[in-house]
């Protein structure tokens, strides 16, 4: 009997920093640093069907086409490594990552799939191997295969440009959604070729973030995230952005962050700041006053701060990979 392979991958809460950077050879390269978030994730189960044609691969839900491509690529690689013939199989995906908010739902599906297929062959792929297959499956991917380690990641190439350290400075994040949670069609956004000044600005932010991680400086990280969010806002043009940044300033937050490919955003707090709970409650009230939906309050050290009824588990709303529908993140 062929065992069922299983795999899991987390999500993230948008980006702390995203832009164009220089790699070790001085070449310009798109890169990002994501804000990890414990909780929601994608789960994959894969059953091989020996003796069936390689093309006989199915996925449930049927619209997860990127995950299906990842399964085909992973089967081909695992079969070659183990000396077994190619075959078909069935992939099943479950999870609770909201789609359309820029939280890496499709990458999470893909990574969970690669891990599940490998597990069915008795293999455990290294993160760089998972990243390579993920980029082939969806053209660009988030660094979710690194399980929360802060890195500057070249999303279109699937490689780490810089390991920033073991962990981000502790943060408390009040999550919210902009643009009424509508998906962001990244293909329709205007494309502007970065100039030398842009690259220099991103490299300065990279250096500041490196220092923030090395020293555990939440305030400095907040400055970097806000500067990156402001730059992203020049393209995304969320109407509530100025309101969120103003609220962050009034309640003593260290900054804001946004998803550069979605509508999720976060108001960032230093957990060591005096009167933290009062600040967080004031932030929640202010966002509510301005009709900006809040989602989840969490920390980068995985402890969550309750501010509403919990809602967990189950399948996230199904939607084609090319047209992700908005969904609310479970509120805590």
Distance of CA 236 to the CA centre of its chain: 17
Is the model's pLDDT at 269 over the cut of 90?
A: yes
Q: What is the pLDDT of residues 249-263, one digit of tens each?
A: 999 999 999 998 889
Domain positions in the chain are: 5-299
Q: What digits encode the pLDDT tens for the residues 66-102?
A: 999 999 999 999 999 999 999 999 999 999 998 888 9
Work out the pLDDT band at 185, boundaries 50, 70, 90. low
| pLDDT at residue 331 greater than cutoff 80 | no
pLDDT at 5 > cutoff 80: yes
In this prediction, residues 218-243 reach a mean pLDDT of: 94
Would you state the pLDDT for residue 323? 37
Check whether 60 has a pLDDT greater than 70.
yes
Give the pLDDT of residue 44.
98
pLDDT range class, residue 329, cuts 50, 70, 90: very low
Average pLDDT over residues 214-233: 96
Q: What is the reported pLDDT for 270?
A: 97
User: What is the reported pLDDT for 187?
Assistant: 55
Topology of the domain covering 5-299: Ribosomal Protein S5; domain 2 (3.30.230)
Going by pLDDT thresholds of 50, 70 and 90, the confidence category of residue 225 is: very high
Task: Tell which residue, 281, 265, 271, 276, has the closest CA to residue 233.
Answer: 265
Residue 145's pLDDT is: 96
Q: What own/partner pairs with CB < 8 Å and gap ≥ 24 does 241-245 have?
A: 241/178, 241/265, 243/290, 243/292, 244/176, 244/178, 244/287, 244/292
pLDDT at 220 over 80: yes
Q: Give me the mean pLDDT over the 263-267 stretch.
A: 96
Average pLDDT, the chain: 88
Average pLDDT over residues 179-195: 71
What is residue 55's predicted lDDT score, i.e. its pLDDT? 85
In percent, how much of the chain has pLDDT > 90?
Answer: 77
40, 90, 118, 300, 305 from 332: Cα distances, Å: 12, 34, 34, 15, 7
Q: Looking at residue 313, what is its pLDDT?
A: 36
pLDDT surpasses 90 at 184: no
Determine how β-strand 88-95 pairs with β-strand 57-60.
parallel
Predicted pLDDT of residue 314: 41
- Average of per-residue pLDDT across 121-145: 96
pLDDT band of residue 223 (cuts 50, 70, 90) is very high
Give the integer Cα–Cα distance in Å for 315 and 98. 10
Residue 13's closest CA among 47, 52, 39?
A: 39
pLDDT level of residue 190 (50, 70, 90 thresholds): low
Decide if pLDDT at 310 tops 80.
Answer: no
Joined tokens for residue 282: 């004031």
């Amino acid at each position: 009997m062929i065992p069922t392979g299983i795999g899991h991958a987390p999500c993230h809460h948008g980006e702390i920093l995203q832009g164009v950077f220089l790699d070790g050879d001085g070449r310009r390269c798109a890169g990002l640093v994501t804000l990890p978030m414990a909780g929601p994730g994608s789960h994959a189960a894969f059953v091989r069907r020996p003796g069936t044609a390689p093309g006989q691969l199915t996925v449930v839900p049927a619209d997860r086409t990127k995950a299906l491509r990842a399964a085909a690529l992973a089967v081909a690689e695992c079969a070659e490594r183990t000396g077994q013939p190619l075959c078909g199989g069935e992939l099943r995906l479950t999870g609770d990552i909201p789609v359309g908010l820029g939280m890496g739902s499709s990458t999470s599906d893909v990574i969970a799939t690669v891990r599940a297929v490998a597990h069915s062959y008795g293999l455990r792929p290294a993160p760089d191997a998972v990243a390579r297959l993920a980029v082939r499956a969806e053209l660009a991917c988030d660094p979710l295969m690194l399980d929360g380690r802060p890195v500057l990641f070249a999303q279109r190439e699937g490689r780490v440009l810089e390991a920033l350290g073991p962990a981000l400075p502790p943060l408390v994040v009040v999550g919210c959604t902009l643009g009424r949670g509508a998906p962001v069609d990244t293909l329709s956004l205007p494309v502007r070729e970065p100039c030398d000044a842009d690259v220099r600005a991103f490299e300065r932010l990279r250096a500041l973030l490196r220092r923030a991680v090395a020293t555990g400086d939440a305030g400095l990280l907040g400055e970097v995230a806000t500067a990156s969010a402001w730059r992203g806002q020049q393209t995304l043009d969320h109407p509530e952005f100025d309101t969120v940044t103003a609220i962050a300033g009034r309640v003593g937050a260290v900054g804001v962050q946004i998803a550069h490919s979605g509508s999720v955003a976060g108001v960032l707090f230093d957990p060591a700041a005096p009167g933290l709970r009062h600040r967080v409650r004031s932030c929640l009230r202010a966002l509510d006053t301005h009709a900006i939906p809040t989602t989840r309050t969490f920390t980068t050290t995985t402890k969550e701060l309750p501010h509403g009824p919990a809602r967990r588990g189950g399948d996230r709303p199904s939607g084609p990979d090319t047209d992700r529908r908005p969904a609310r993140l479970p509120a805590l």
